[in-house]
Homo-oligomer: A and B are copies of this chain.
């Protein structure tokens, strides 16, 4: 179990490697929230985590490697989708979850930091895109179920609908600075549900 060559994610939960990973990723998150990605330093993260520097350098090797693993861990940890029985109910649950995460002082800063890091590092960008793919895949079945219930046309692209719920909340966080309140979340969900019902997210030929 103690092998540092084990790939993240393939480790027995509760083993020493998993405990080290959890401590290091928690410390990496703390450091990112405090100092941003340009203040992230593997030796500092090792110190915060109470783990040997050599272990951290050997396993994560670089800041982008560490941030990528943090994003993979965030994808693994994230909550399962809702199943309220209606598309509007499910999308509202999704929007409120995204809103609560982005409005949380620690999580909001963490998301800003990894998104900023992804703008200037390809490996971080890939990990970030993987994170969103995982989240969108988790929630897409809400739209598939709505299509089976006849709430939306059968050719609706489920991934587009889920992305449409998150997008206005990220736009507020990163661009316009408008408040990330629950009204914004509920409006994002309602707009996506209505547009989906009216066929705005029909699959396009690629």
User: Measuring CB to CB, which residues of chain A are less than 8 angstroms from any residue of chain B?
Assistant: 36, 38, 112-113, 115-120, 125-126, 128-129, 132-133, 136, 160, 163-164, 166-168, 170-172, 174-178, 183, 187, 190-192, 194-195, 198, 200-201, 204
What residues of chain B lie closer than 8 Å to A163, measured between beta carbons? 168, 171-172, 176, 178
Write the nearest CB–CB distance from A102 to chain B, whole angstroms.
11
Nearest CB to that of A115 among chain B residues?
B174
Contact check, A125 vs B204: say whether CB atoms are below 8 A apart.
no
How far is B191's CA from A129's CA once the two chains are assembled, in angstroms? 23
In order of increasing CB-CB distance, the 3 nearest A-B pairs are: A129-B177, A167-B171, A116-B116
Contact check, A176 vs B129: say whether CB atoms are below 8 A apart.
yes
Contact check, A164 vs B168: say whether CB atoms are below 8 A apart.
yes
Which secondary structure characterizes the binding site on chain A?
A: helix
The interface centre, meaning the residue of A120, A136, A170, A174 with most chain B CB atoms within 10 A of its CB, is A174
Contact of A166 among B36, B129, B171, B201 (CB under 8 A): B171
How far is B120's CA from A121's CA once the two chains are assembled, in angstroms? 17
Contact check, B176 vs A133: say whether CB atoms are below 8 A apart.
yes
Can you name 18 extra interface pairs (CB under 8 A) apart from A38-B38, A128-B175, A190-B195? A115-B116, A116-B117, A118-B174, A128-B177, A129-B177, A132-B175, A132-B176, A163-B171, A163-B172, A163-B178, A164-B191, A167-B167, A170-B174, A187-B201, A187-B204, A190-B200, A191-B192, A192-B195
The interface centre, meaning the residue of A112, A113, A136, A175 with most chain B CB atoms within 10 A of its CB, is A175
Write the nearest CB–CB distance from A177 to chain B, whole angstroms.
4
How far is B187's CA from A195's CA once the two chains are assembled, in angstroms? 10
Write the nearest CB–CB distance from A49 to chain B, whole angstroms.
23
How far is B126's CA from A175's CA once the two chains are assembled, in angstroms? 10
How far is B27's CA from A83's CA once the two chains are assembled, in angstroms? 52
Nearest CB to that of A130 among chain B residues?
B177
